[in-house]
């Protein structure tokens, strides 16, 4: 049976070439493996862009249709926590980027430190989210059977928010009902984002253990770099969520 | 021929921590700016400015933290394709909604 | 070389299936369930999609049985709704979308580009498992009572007014969507990064180009379907959402998001089939594909333009007239690249040495039936005609012509064409040609009357219809019976051929392409040494030169 005739007379000595242990057998070189997996992660992030894209499209339309309700409802979100979360995530992106640098420079302890800081900041973000969501629960702003439009029909009854936004007028009942749409989108978008954060945090914990074992500081930085891409992407989503959900109109 | 480098030569430009610090500061400034501007009444410009600042921040993260500035053309093209298609989804959908009330046709 | 067939088999008295191949390399269930080998995964996919195809086909049989009579007498109208919904869901998401890419594409793409495997073998396996989970969830939904919204899940019917298993079916499709995404992702990375030395983009087989274009659609379009299904599920669970007017939502928003994926989805389904046809038409006319560059670019053009036309499914739903105008014009544009392909295949045939083996018969069927289906698509793209024809049997006939007359025939063409490579055995030619003919006849009897029914005004998705439509419906059901026979036969004789088929050898079709330069069935690693590509695609002179060299060098 004739051999593949498309093969040239390559180095007959090219039997089993040496390659690092982390190179998979179907790749011809470490670089090819790195390039391929990096590209694959970017394509995955594209799918995430389109995934969140549907939510953004829904949000844009609802905001246009029910602008007064969206303004009033967004005042229920505390800008303090929102800004804090934004700063936390930006800082975590920084620590993650530094982590990738440490891996590239083969600094194991630096990498572990950076990953740990990123993890801490990730937890901080989730903690703040929990505080915010809990507040929504307390004020009956979770969409569903217990949703209450009281704060929007009569803003004066909601003392803390009314102090910050004394010029907020009461909404007509049907527009007030649309605040539930805002909160549906709020929870859908921040919930989906938080789910991605949780997954990221889980992988970070795994990575810290592996980093301590030296897995990423022997030249094989692919995993850290690709995870970094994912983490930065989650940060970018939050940057847009913050602008869209919290900053609709904070002026009087 | 597929885009491979030869034997272990790394094409990867390693971005220095200095750049990361600069970008971090820029992002924090942008955050402060966007919060500040939202307290000023600029009418129709508020959401535009907010999105512009958000997009600038996002671009900084993409170009520097995600190394796209130092990446291959393929990576840049991939990012551009994703942004393009996202914009198609938003704009063509919005076009339907915006044009519903036009004229009487 | 015989004038009536190009098949060239080794001497059957001495030929043997190679002892070491991807099927025999390892044994045991786990070696299959935990495999990374793209060929084994393709085989797993082939078995699973065939299984779901026959479930979907049985549901089609039930539909046609019900429609024999004008009254809704075989089943209640609600049950009929469930039957056509499950038929659509299974056929679209569990059969057509993965049909060629996950089976033939998975099997061939690494070999066609000269690689040892896809870029991400574990993701490939994950893809299959996600498919199986999705299939199980769909079967569960069916067993638990089914869903009756139509495969398009139109809101607010699906979110508010029905009490059927929308959530489990929606989640099943969500999972199937990710199976599709990972397959597409894998293909894009592989085609970009793992081509062998010398394999430039324009030396790739057109099959690879077609899969590349389809993969772009899979990766970019499917996530929008995913989020839409999530929103539908949330709306059902929490009774608040963005699609139900009662809550302030907009049902048109659902349709925009749904069709943003589902239109590109039809190109996901057809493009790989077109890739098969390019290979088959070239091989059985012994000629390079006419206008290689045009065919390659038209695949990508279909993918790109396919993203701009989705609202042509929504002309009567309440979109603005301006939007309808724009989408209608863009729809006219997207027909052009498909037509380019048909013309190029026709010019490939011109002055070729044509033979009529089974894959070629299916390819001819494809060219004719897809052209009819495609042209009726143009009628539907014009808003004026669409208003009258939409939601009638004209639509049903249109998409069955392109999907069944087109895609399914292309799938069968591909299965027959690469069967020798996959299994090492030839299928029996005479009975397979008969099956192809039966399929073609049955198809036309089934679906051509439906064009007429549609123009006469018979609505789709109705269990009962006015008695004047009965004659055409009876024709259609009769055709469906013939069609069923046509689809059953391949399962039988292909299974038979596994044990009793003639030994195929490396290249029974004298085809070009790197996959034909390896043994049949291939080795697990495809190539012992990565080949170097030194000739253009469809280079029959190179092939003849190779064969002369072989003859000259054998003792």
The CATH number of residue C239's host domain is 1.20.210.10
DSSP string, A219-236: S--HHHHHHHHHHHHHHH
- C-contacting chains (≥3 CB pairs under 8 Å): A, B
Per the CB < 8 A criterion, the answer to whether C104 and C416 are in contact is: no
Q: Which of A29, A48, A54, A57 best probes binding to C when mutated, by most C CB atoms within 10 angstroms? A: A54
Question: Are C240 and A177 in contact (CB < 8 Å)?
Answer: no
- Same domain membership, residue B79 and residue B38: no
Q: What is the DSSP letter of C154?
A: -
Residue C2 resides in a domain: no
Residue C209 resides in a domain: yes
Please provide residue B63's backbone torsions phi and psi, each rounded to the nearest 5 degrees: -70, -40
CB atoms within 10 A of CB B87: 11
Residue B10 resides in a domain: no
Domain count, chain A: 1
Burial class (CB in 10 A: 0-12, 13-18, 19+), A83: middle
Q: Which of C216, C323, C326, C531 best probes binding to B when mutated, by most B CB atoms within 10 angstroms? A: C323
CB atoms within 10 A of CB C346: 13
Helix, strand or coil for residue C425?
strand
Q: Which residues in C154-229 belong to E strands, given as ranges?
A: none
- Compute the distance between CA of residue C107 and CA of residue C128 in angstroms, rounded to an integer: 13
Residue B49 resides in a domain: yes
3-state SS record for C322-386? HHHHHHHHHHHHHHHHHHHHHHHHHHHHCCCCCCCCHHHHHHHHHHHHHHHHHHHHHHHHCHHHH
Q: Domain range for residue B92? A: 71-99
Query: Touching check for A65 and chain C: CB below 8 Å?
Result: yes
Residue A7 resides in a domain: no
- Measured between CA atoms, the residue of chain A closest to residue C512 is A6
Query: Touching check for A178 and chain C: CB below 8 Å?
Result: yes
Query: Which residue in this structure is represented by tokens 């253009």?
Result: C536
Residues of chain B positioned with their CB less than 8 A from the CB of C260: 89, 93
- Compute the distance between CA of residue C334 and CA of residue C327 in angstroms, rounded to an integer: 10
Q: Domain range for residue A190? A: 48-246
Residues of chain C positioned with their CB less than 8 A from the CB of B93: 253, 256-257, 260
Q: Is the pTM of this model over 0.90?
A: yes
CB atoms within 10 A of CB A140: 13
Q: What separation in angstroms does the CA of C345 have from each of A161, C248, C461?
A: 69, 51, 36
- Same domain membership, residue B76 and residue B55: no
Question: Are C322 and B3 in contact (CB < 8 Å)?
Answer: no
Q: What pLDDT is attached to residue C554?
A: 55
Query: Touching check for A9 and chain C: CB below 8 Å?
Result: no
Residue B78 resides in a domain: yes
Residue A11 resides in a domain: no
Question: Are C326 and B1 in contact (CB < 8 Å)?
Answer: no
Per the CB < 8 A criterion, the answer to whether B16 and B64 are in contact is: no
Burial C411-420 (b: 16+ CB within 10 A, else e): bbbbbbbbbb
Picking from C150, C116, C107, C202, the residue whose alpha carbon sits closest to that of residue C411 is C107
Q: What is the DSSP letter of B47?
A: H
Q: Domain range for residue C335? A: 29-553
Q: What is the DSSP letter of C248?
A: T
Helix, strand or coil for residue C392?
strand
Residues of chain C positioned with their CB less than 8 A from the CB of B96: 252, 256, 311, 319-320, 323
Question: Are A5 and C546 in contact (CB < 8 Å)?
Answer: yes
Question: Are B61 and A239 in contact (CB < 8 Å)?
Answer: yes
Question: C174 to chain A, minimum CA–CA distance in Å?
Answer: 12
Query: Touching check for A21 and chain C: CB below 8 Å?
Result: no
Helix, strand or coil for residue C504?
coil
Question: C235 to chain A, minimum CA–CA distance in Å?
Answer: 9
Question: Are C531 and A47 in contact (CB < 8 Å)?
Answer: no
Q: Which helix (H) or strand (E) holds A6?
A: none
Question: A223 to chain C, minimum CA–CA distance in Å?
Answer: 14
Domain count, chain B: 2
Question: Are A6 and C181 in contact (CB < 8 Å)?
Answer: no
- Compute the distance between CA of residue B59 and CA of residue B46 in angstroms, rounded to an integer: 20
- Compute the distance between CA of residue C464 and CA of residue C166 in angstroms, rounded to an integer: 24
Q: What is the DSSP letter of A218?
A: S
> Could you list the pLDDT tens digit for every one of the 252 residues in chain A?
334 333 444 433 344 557 787 888 888 888 899 999 999 999 999 999 999 999 999 999 999 999 999 999 999 999 999 999 999 999 999 999 999 999 999 999 999 999 999 999 999 999 999 999 999 999 999 998 889 888 888 888 888 888 888 888 898 998 999 999 999 999 999 999 999 999 999 999 999 999 999 888 888 899 999 999 999 999 999 999 999 999 988 875
Burial class (CB in 10 A: 0-12, 13-18, 19+), C471: exposed
Residue C217 resides in a domain: yes
Residue C11 resides in a domain: no
Query: Which residue in this structure is represented by tokens 């921590």?
Result: B17
Q: What is the DSSP letter of C195?
A: P
More confident residue, C55 or B14: C55
Question: C34 to chain B, minimum CA–CA distance in Å?
Answer: 29
Work out the pLDDT band at B104, boundaries 50, 70, 90.
Answer: low
Q: What separation in angstroms does the CA of C552 have from each of C285, C516, C534, C545?
A: 26, 20, 21, 10
- Measured between CA atoms, the residue of chain B closest to residue C202 is B1
Query: Touching check for B91 and chain A: CB below 8 Å?
Result: no
Per the CB < 8 A criterion, the answer to whether C99 and C145 are in contact is: no
Which tokens in the block code for residue B51?
């999105």
Picking from C211, C127, C237, the residue whose alpha carbon sits closest to that of residue C135 is C127
What is the distance of C-alpha C71 from the center of its chain? 34
Question: B24 to chain A, minimum CA–CA distance in Å?
Answer: 6
- Same domain membership, residue B62 and residue B75: no
Query: Touching check for C198 and chain B: CB below 8 Å?
Result: yes
Picking from B34, B31, B62, the residue whose alpha carbon sits closest to that of residue B48 is B34
Q: What pLDDT is attached to residue A252?
A: 58
Residues of chain B positioned with their CB less than 8 A from the CB of A105: 14
Helix, strand or coil for residue B68?
helix
Residue B6 resides in a domain: no
Name the residue facing C320 among B82, B88, B96 (closest C-beta). B96
Query: Touching check for C252 and chain A: CB below 8 Å?
Result: no
Residues 6+ apart with CB under 8 A from B13: B67, B70
Average pLDDT over chain B reads 86
Which tokens in the block code for residue C187?
């293909």
DSSP string, C16-46: ---SSSTTTSS-SHHHHHT---HHHHHHHHH
Residue C231 resides in a domain: yes
Name the residue facing C228 among A7, A54, A147 (closest C-beta). A54
- Measured between CA atoms, the residue of chain C closest to residue A41 is C185
> Could you list the pLDDT tens digit for every one of the 555 residues in chain C?
446 888 999 988 888 999 999 999 999 999 999 999 999 999 999 999 999 999 999 999 999 999 999 999 999 999 999 999 999 999 999 999 999 999 999 999 999 999 999 999 999 999 999 999 999 999 999 999 999 999 999 999 999 888 899 999 999 999 999 999 999 999 999 999 999 999 999 999 999 999 999 999 999 999 999 999 999 999 999 888 899 998 889 999 999 999 999 999 999 999 999 999 999 999 999 999 999 999 999 999 999 999 999 999 999 999 999 999 999 999 999 999 999 999 999 999 999 999 999 999 999 999 999 999 999 999 999 999 999 999 999 999 999 999 999 999 999 999 999 999 999 999 999 999 999 999 999 999 999 999 999 999 999 999 999 999 999 999 999 999 999 999 999 999 999 999 999 999 999 999 999 999 999 899 999 998 999 999 999 999 999 888 888 777 654
Question: Are C248 and A4 in contact (CB < 8 Å)?
Answer: no
Residues of chain B positioned with their CB less than 8 A from the CB of C307: 85, 88
Question: A7 to chain C, minimum CA–CA distance in Å?
Answer: 4
Burial class (CB in 10 A: 0-12, 13-18, 19+), A80: exposed
Which tokens in the block code for residue A80?
């303090």
- Compute the distance between CA of residue A201 and CA of residue A123 in angstroms, rounded to an integer: 8
Domain count, chain C: 1
Instruction: Enumerate chain B positions whose Cβ falls within 8 A of a Cβ in C.
Output: 1-4, 74, 81-82, 85, 88-89, 92-93, 95-97, 99-100, 102, 105
Reduced to 3 DSSP states, what percent helix, strand and coil does chain A have, rounded to the nearest 5?
70, 0, 30
Name the residue facing A243 among B10, B34, B72 (closest C-beta). B34
Residue C1 resides in a domain: no
Residue C487 resides in a domain: yes
Question: Are A232 and B65 in contact (CB < 8 Å)?
Answer: yes
3-state SS record for C448-477? HHHHHHHHHCCECCCCCCCHHHHHHHHHHH
Residues 6+ apart with CB under 8 A from B84: none
CATH classification of the domain holding A232: 1.20.120.80
Question: Are A32 and C220 in contact (CB < 8 Å)?
Answer: no
The percent of residues in chain B predicted with pLDDT above 90, rounded, is: 68
Residues 6+ apart with CB under 8 A from C229: C153, C170, C171, C173, C174, C177
Residue A4 resides in a domain: no
Picking from C341, C349, C491, the residue whose alpha carbon sits closest to that of residue C416 is C491
Q: What pLDDT is attached to residue B103?
A: 63
Which tokens in the block code for residue A181?
């749409």
Question: Are B14 and A53 in contact (CB < 8 Å)?
Answer: no
Query: Touching check for C366 and chain B: CB below 8 Å?
Result: no
Question: Are A38 and B34 in contact (CB < 8 Å)?
Answer: no
Residue B32 resides in a domain: yes
3-state SS record for C95-153? HHHHHHHHHHHHHHHHHHHCCCCCCCHHHHHHHHHHHHHHHHHHHHHHHCCCCCCCCCC
Name the residue facing B90 among A60, A91, A251 (closest C-beta). A60
**Taking the C-alpha atoms of B9, B12, B14 and B15 in order, what is their torsion angle to the nearest 10 degrees?**
160
- Compute the distance between CA of residue A95 and CA of residue A98 in angstroms, rounded to an integer: 5
Q: Which of A30, A71, A247 best probes binding to B when mutated, by most B CB atoms within 10 angstroms? A: A247
- Measured between CA atoms, the residue of chain C closest to residue A39 is C189
Residue B24 resides in a domain: yes
Residue A231 resides in a domain: yes
Residue A124 resides in a domain: yes
Per the CB < 8 A criterion, the answer to whether C124 and C36 are in contact is: yes
- Same domain membership, residue B79 and residue B56: no
């Amino acid at each position: 049976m004739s051999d593949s005739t498309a093969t040239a007379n390559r180095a007959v000595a090219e039997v089993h070439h040496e390659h690092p242990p982390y190179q998979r057998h179907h790749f011809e070189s470490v670089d090819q493996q790195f390039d391929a997996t990096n590209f694959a992660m970017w394509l995955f992030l594209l799918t995430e862009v389109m995934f969140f894209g549907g939510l953004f499209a829904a949000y844009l339309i609802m905001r246009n249709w029910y602008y007064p309700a969206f303004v009033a409802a967004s005042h229920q979100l505390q800008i303090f926590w929102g800004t804090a979360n934004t700063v936390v995530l930006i800082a975590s992106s920084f620590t993650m980027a530094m982590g990738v640098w440490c891996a590239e420079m083969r600094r194991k302890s630096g990498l572990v430190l950076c990953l740990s800081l990123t993890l801490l900041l990730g937890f901080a973000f989730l903690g703040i989210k929990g505080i915010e969501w809990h507040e929504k629960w307390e004020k009956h702003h979770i969409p569903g059977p217990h949703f209450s439009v009281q704060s929007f029909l009569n803003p004066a009854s909601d003392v803390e928010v009314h102090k910050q936004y004394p010029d907020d007028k009461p909404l007509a009942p049907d527009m007030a009902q649309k605040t539930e749409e805002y909160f549906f989108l709020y929870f859908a978008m921040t919930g989906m984002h938080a789910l991605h954060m949780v997954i990221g945090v889980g992988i970070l914990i795994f990575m810290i253990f592996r980093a301590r074992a030296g897995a990423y500081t022997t030249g094989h930085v692919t995993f850290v770099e690709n995870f970094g891409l994912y983490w930065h992407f989650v940060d970018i989503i939050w940057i847009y969520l913050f602008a869209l959900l919290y900053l609709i109109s904070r002026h009087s | 021929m597929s885009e491979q480098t030869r034997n272990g030569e790394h094409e990867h430009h390693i971005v220095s921590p200095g750049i990361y610090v600069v970008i971090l500061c820029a992002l924090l400034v942008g955050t402060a700016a966007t919060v500040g501007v939202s307290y000023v009444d600029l009418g129709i410009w508020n959401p535009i400015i907010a999105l512009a600042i958000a997009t600038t921040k996002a671009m900084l993260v993409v170009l520097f933290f995600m190394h796209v500035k130092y990446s291959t053309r393929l990576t840049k093209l991939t990012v551009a394709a994703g942004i393009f298609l996202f914009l198609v989804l938003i704009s063509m959908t919005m076009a339907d909604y915006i044009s519903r009330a036009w004229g009487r046709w | 070389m015989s004038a009536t067939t190009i098949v060239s088999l080794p001497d059957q008295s001495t030929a043997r299936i190679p002892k070491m191949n991807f099927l025999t390399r390892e044994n045991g269930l786990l070696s299959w369930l935990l495999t990374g080998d793209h060929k084994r995964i393709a085989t797993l996919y082939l078995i699973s999609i065939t299984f779901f195809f026959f479930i979907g086909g049985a549901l089609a049989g039930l539909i046609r049985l019900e429609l024999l009579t004008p009254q809704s007498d075989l089943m209640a109208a609600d049950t009929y709704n469930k039957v056509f919904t499950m038929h659509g869901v299974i056929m679209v998401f569990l059969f057509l979308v993965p049909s060629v890419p996950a089976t033939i594409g998975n099997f061939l793409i690494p070999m066609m580009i000269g690689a040892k495997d896809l870029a991400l073998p574990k993701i490939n396996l994950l893809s299959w498992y996600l498919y199986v989970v999705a299939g199980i969830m769909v079967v569960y939904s069916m067993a638990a009572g089914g869903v009756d919204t139509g495969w398009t899940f139109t809101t607010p019917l699906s979110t508010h007014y029905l009490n059927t298993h929308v959530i489990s079916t929606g989640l099943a499709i969500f999972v199937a969507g990710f199976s599709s995404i990972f397959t597409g992702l894998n293909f894009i990375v592989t085609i970009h990064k793992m081509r062998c030395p010398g394999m430039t983009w324009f030396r790739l087989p057109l099959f690879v180009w077609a899969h590349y274009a389809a993969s772009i659609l899979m990766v970019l379009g499917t996530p929008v379907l995913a989020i839409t299904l999530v929103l539908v599920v949330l709306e059902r669970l929490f009774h608040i959402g963005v699609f139900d007017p009662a809550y302030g939502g907009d049902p048109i928003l659902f349709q925009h998001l749904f069709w943003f994926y589902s239109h590109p989805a039809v190109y996901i389904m057809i493009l790989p089939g077109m890739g098969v046809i390019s290979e088959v038409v070239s091989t059985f006319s012994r000629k390079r594909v006419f206008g290689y560059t045009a065919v390659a670019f038209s695949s990508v053009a279909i993918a790109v333009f396919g993203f701009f036309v989705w609202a042509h499914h929504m002309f009567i739903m309440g979109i603005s007239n301006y939007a309808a105008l724009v989408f209608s014009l863009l729809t006219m544009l997207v027909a052009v690249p498909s037509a380019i392909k048909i013309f190029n295949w026709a010019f490939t045939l011109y002055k070729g040495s044509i033979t009529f083996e089974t894959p070629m018969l299916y390819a001819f069927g494809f060219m004719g039936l897809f052209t009819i289906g495609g042209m009726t698509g143009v009628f539907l793209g014009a808003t004026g005609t669409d208003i009258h024809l939409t939601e009638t049997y004209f639509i049903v006939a249109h998409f069955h012509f392109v999907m069944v007359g087109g895609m399914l025939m292309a799938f069968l063409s591909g299965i027959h064409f690469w069967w020798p490579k996959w299994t090492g055995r030839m299928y029996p030619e005479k009975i397979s040609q008969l099956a192809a003919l039966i399929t073609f006849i049955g198809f036309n009897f089934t679906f051509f009357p439906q064009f007429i029914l549609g123009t006469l005004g018979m609505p789709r998705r109705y269990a009962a219809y006015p008695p004047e439509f009965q004659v055409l419906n009876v024709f259609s059901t009769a055709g469906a019976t013939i069609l069923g026979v046509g689809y059953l036969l391949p399962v039988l004789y292909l299974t038979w051929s596994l044990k009793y088929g003639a030994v195929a050898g490396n290249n029974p079709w004298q085809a070009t392409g790197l996959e034909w330069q390896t043994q049949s069935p291939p080795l697990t690693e495809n190539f012992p040494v990565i080949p170097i590509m030194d000739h253009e695609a469809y280079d029959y002179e190179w092939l003849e030169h190779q064969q002369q060299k072989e003859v000259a060098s054998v003792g």
